[in-house]
Chain A
Amino acid sequence: MLMQVLTQLVIVVSLLMIVSIGAFVGRYRLRDTRTEWRRRVREAAPITLLLALVLLGNSVARQTVPELSWMIGWNLTWPIYDLEGQFILWLQSYATPSVTAYFSFVYIYGYVFLLVFPIVAYFALSNTRPLRELLTAYTLNYALGLVLYVFVIAYGPRNLMPELVDALLYDTYPQYQHLTRQVNRNTNVFPSLHTSLAATAGFLAFRTRGVYPKWFVVATVLALSVAVSTMYLGIHWLIDVLAGIVLAYVSVTLAGHLVGRWSLSSRLAGRVPYVSDNT
């Protein structure tokens, strides 16, 4: 079941990528990339490695974080519900099958596409700074998010109000839970990492709007849709989403300060025999 869903995900996202690369990146950038890719890879390699490590550590930590949370964390589900009350229900009162289909699509496919496409798009730029900022911001999102998950135990709306908040995604498309179950534990809803990563891509699209003006429009629509979808599908509270946006803002700002400050690649460049430019 999981393999089937994964395959579907890969196919859909690949199609979206091909279309978008044609539409946003363009032939000339791709041509330049063919000649410059070694340098760009070398510059982005350290942060890519770090991101991979954090992701790996994250997947290991996800096994122990819930246990740890129950020992030291705060259970905030009720305070959150008390504070924001009926917002999710109000949002869901607009549910129609086509809206549900749209947000389910966005939550699964749109989200992955929104995170992956900028990696390719920024890689196609001669200046690797946006790429490094993007990867740094992703890394920070995961790292900071994990810390918050340790301290905050919160269940999403679908766990408190199963009959009102139809767990639309999992009941309409049960197969998807095989996918999300791999990455999410049900007590980890504060903050919404879906929202924070989507917003991160959105913020950076804003910064690079000079280069990719059309992508900025698409990314904004997608990022907003992802944020709304998490609430519409009963997975996150409004507070989780707001916290996700704050986390994204912090990550992007920090990434802006950090990137280039201690550039690992330039330090290593002189010492490690890298893939040489003139081969």
Chain B
Amino acid sequence: MLASVAGATVATSGCVRQVRSTVNRDGIDQLSLTITTVPADADRESIQLARALRDAFEAAGMDVSIEMQAPEEFHRTVLINHDFDVYVARHPGGVDPDYLYETLHSRYVDEAGWQNPFGFANLAVDEFLESQRAAADDDRAEAVTETLEALALEQPFVPICVPEEYRLARTDRFDGWEDDRIPTRLGYLGLETGETVRTLRLVHTDARLSENLNPLSVEYRDDGTVTDLLYDSLAVERPEHGELEPWLADGWAWENETLTVELRDGLTFHDGESLTAADVAFTYRFLADTTLGDADVPAPSPRFRGQAAAVDGIDVVDDRRLELAFSIGEPAAERALSVPILPEHVWRPRAERATVSGVRTADGTTEALVTDNVPPIGSGPFEFADLVERDSVTLERFDEHVTRRPDVDLPEPTVERISIAIDPRSTSAIQLVSANDADVTNRPLESYVVDDVLESVPEDVRVLQSPSRRFYHLGFNARKAPFSNPRFRRTVARLVDKQWLVEDVFDGHARPAATPVVEEWTPESLEWNGDDPETPFLGTDGDVDTAAAKAAFEDAGFRYDGDRLQVRR
């Protein structure tokens, strides 16, 4: 009896073990993914790219859906909550390739903002990023090239193209428009105008500007030219000179990995409080941790993160002088001088945790990160006057601004007022400029209207064509399989026909890109040669060669069931 029970037990346990190992193997299903992006009202090109990519991915056997979210919601989902599979968007980029440090270094995996939203962590890449940062001028080009080549191999995100920026400006009321200045705050300074013209009228195609003026908000800031007019930095890049020039700072010296910065005298904020070295020191500390050390977990600002993180130590010498210590090379360190200087008396109270009655807010959600910051108090050439939500923003000249001093040779605000009309479409923005209801389009025109504009430029209107550092890209969430797999990402990159997308979506008004830096930093090995030098397209004219795609994925270790790409769930 006992023996038979024992025998039965042995027999069953063997059977159950087999059942267990059969049943408990995770299922294999078709890979289904969601492309997150913004609707056409917010960015006409992103949704078109997303739909083209969907077709390409489906041809390769994936099941793809698209989710559109309002821009602020999109940024919250992707950059703060990291709740996505892949996304298509415009990246703010950077003139200096050092922006890649905060974009891809593994130490930023868990932070909110444009710093590593991908969750990409690769120690070899970290090392390249660090060495380009540490490099002095002479060795930097090589270090940058090595970094970019490593990234082309890993494809943490797929750079798609760099759009050309076109804007319209009226020449009958203002003179002195510069193509390379207009994407920055300098485009709106130093304009020549007659005595009678008091107001510069901007038309802006994004309503978010009228809802929030917080320079630290990643959900509401795009390129931030308007907040740059409200907030000054120590130095400003003058595109025509190609390097940073003193702005609030009188000058600086680099010695022993330390920047000694001297401020101009008598600086004040818009509310009359004086701007001292203490405010500058506060700004760097605050950007590094908006809780100012009060919470268990630091909450760095999602914007200007890389610049602020480079600062190792701050020493306020006196009211006008401070020393910033770095452990990196001078070219990367100088980027720290371009952050907006915040008034300590306004922002210190905002280190408190943001509260909504009845709701538990997440750790690290400080008031500073979520405030709409109206009215903004900065020290910039213009001060805030008024806003009407979704309609307009008005700025007035800050007469005490440094650039207005006779002994300072910097472009100064020449108009008394800037009025910004919110108008969500390029076509009507063009109409406003043509009809002399606006002087300049603040944001670049959408690609699809560019040909029409170039064909018939209205009278007294000039087309400004500017180089862009922003680029469109496909971002992977490397926290999730299979996007964590570089072989998978490389193969997906080969489903993107960048050249064709540039023609089809941008009407040719963009440059396909194999690497996410401006042209002067692009190494020879990654120059566009009619196709992507690293991940050439698997197909022709936007149509994916299904057999080739299948072979490539199988080569990367994936399996197919008929035409469907299978992954383990």
> B68 to A160, Cβ gap below 8 A?
yes
The 8 Å CB contact of A160, one of B39, B390, B424, B428, is: B39
Whose C-beta in chain A lies nearest to the C-beta of B35? Answer: A78
Expressed in whole angstroms, the Cα–Cα distance for A163 and B504 within the complex equals 10
16 contacts between A and B (CB under 8 A): A75-B67, A77-B67, A77-B68, A78-B65, A78-B68, A155-B68, A159-B41, A160-B39, A160-B47, A162-B48, A163-B48, A167-B425, A174-B431, A175-B431, A177-B424, A186-B41
A66 within 8 A of B: yes
Whose C-beta in chain A lies nearest to the C-beta of B446? Answer: A162
Chain A residues 41 to 86 lying within 8 A of chain B, measured CB to CB, are: 63, 66, 70, 75, 77-78, 82
> B44 to A187, Cβ gap below 8 A?
no
> B68 to A162, Cβ gap below 8 A?
no
Q: Which residues of B contact A77 (CB under 8 A)?
A: 67-68
Expressed in whole angstroms, the Cα–Cα distance for A186 and B41 within the complex equals 8
Q: Which 8 A-B pairs have the closest CB atoms?
A: A174-B428, A159-B39, A162-B40, A174-B427, A159-B40, A155-B39, A162-B44, A78-B65
Q: Which residues of B contact A78 (CB under 8 A)?
A: 65-68
The winner among B40, B425, B428 for most chain A CB atoms within 10 A is B40
Min C-beta distance of A275 to chain B, whole Å: 39
Q: Which residues of B contact A178 (CB under 8 A)?
A: 428
Q: How many residues of B contact A (CB 8 A)?
A: 26
Q: Which residues of A contact B44 (CB under 8 A)?
A: 162
**B residues neighboring A (CB under 8 Å):** 39-41, 44, 47-48, 51, 65-70, 73, 389-390, 424-425, 427-428, 430-432, 437, 448, 505
Min C-beta distance of B140 to chain A, whole Å: 41
Expressed in whole angstroms, the Cα–Cα distance for A160 and B66 within the complex equals 9
> A170 to B425, Cβ gap below 8 A?
yes
Expressed in whole angstroms, the Cα–Cα distance for A98 and B475 within the complex equals 43
Expressed in whole angstroms, the Cα–Cα distance for A181 and B390 within the complex equals 10
Min C-beta distance of B278 to chain A, whole Å: 37
Q: Which residues of A contact B425 (CB under 8 A)?
A: 167, 170-171, 174, 177
> B68 to A75, Cβ gap below 8 A?
yes
Whose C-beta in chain A lies nearest to the C-beta of B45? Answer: A162
Whose C-beta in chain B lies nearest to the C-beta of A79? Answer: B65
What interface size band does chain A fall in? Answer: 20 to 34
Chain A residues 149 to 169 lying within 8 A of chain B, measured CB to CB, are: 155, 158-163, 167
Min C-beta distance of A153 to chain B, whole Å: 8
Min C-beta distance of A165 to chain B, whole Å: 9
Given A70-B70, A160-B68, A167-B425: 15 more A-B contacts, CB < 8 Å:
A70-B69, A77-B67, A78-B65, A82-B65, A158-B40, A160-B40, A162-B40, A162-B47, A162-B448, A170-B427, A174-B425, A174-B428, A174-B430, A175-B428, A186-B39
Q: Taking chain A's interface residues, is the majority helix, strand, or loop, or is none over half, making it mixed?
A: helix
Q: Which residues of B contact A82 (CB under 8 A)?
A: 65
Q: Which residues of B contact A75 (CB under 8 A)?
A: 67-69
A1 within 8 A of B: yes
Q: Which residues of B contact A158 (CB under 8 A)?
A: 40
Q: Which residues of A contact B389 (CB under 8 A)?
A: 63
Min C-beta distance of A72 to chain B, whole Å: 13
Q: Which residues of A contact B437 (CB under 8 A)?
A: 1
Min C-beta distance of B537 to chain A, whole Å: 21
Expressed in whole angstroms, the Cα–Cα distance for A1 and B423 within the complex equals 11
> B69 to A170, Cβ gap below 8 A?
no
Chain A residues 122 to 144 lying within 8 A of chain B, measured CB to CB, are: none
Min C-beta distance of A84 to chain B, whole Å: 15
Q: Which residues of A contact B69 (CB under 8 A)?
A: 70, 75
Known: A78-B67, A175-B428, A178-B428. A163 touches B73 (CB 8 A): no
Expressed in whole angstroms, the Cα–Cα distance for A78 and B66 within the complex equals 6
> A170 to B47, Cβ gap below 8 A?
no
Q: Which residues of B contact A167 (CB under 8 A)?
A: 40, 425
B interface footprint on A165-198 (CB within 8 Å = 1, 0 otherwise):
0010011001101100100001100000000000
The winner among B48, B428, B437 for most chain A CB atoms within 10 A is B428
Q: Which residues of B contact A66 (CB under 8 A)?
A: 70
Min C-beta distance of A181 to chain B, whole Å: 7
Expressed in whole angstroms, the Cα–Cα distance for A160 and B437 within the complex equals 30
Q: Which residues of B contact A175 (CB under 8 A)?
A: 428, 431
Expressed in whole angstroms, the Cα–Cα distance for A162 and B432 within the complex equals 22
Q: Which residues of B contact A160 (CB under 8 A)?
A: 39-40, 47, 51, 66, 68
Min C-beta distance of B68 to chain A, whole Å: 5
Q: Which residues of A contact B66 (CB under 8 A)?
A: 78, 160
Whose C-beta in chain A lies nearest to the C-beta of B50? Answer: A160
Expressed in whole angstroms, the Cα–Cα distance for A233 and B65 within the complex equals 24
Expressed in whole angstroms, the Cα–Cα distance for A66 and B208 within the complex equals 13
> A187 to B428, Cβ gap below 8 A?
no
The 8 Å CB contact of B70, one of A162, A171, A181, A187, is: A187
Q: Which residues of B contact A163 (CB under 8 A)?
A: 48, 448, 505
Q: Which residues of B contact A171 (CB under 8 A)?
A: 425, 427
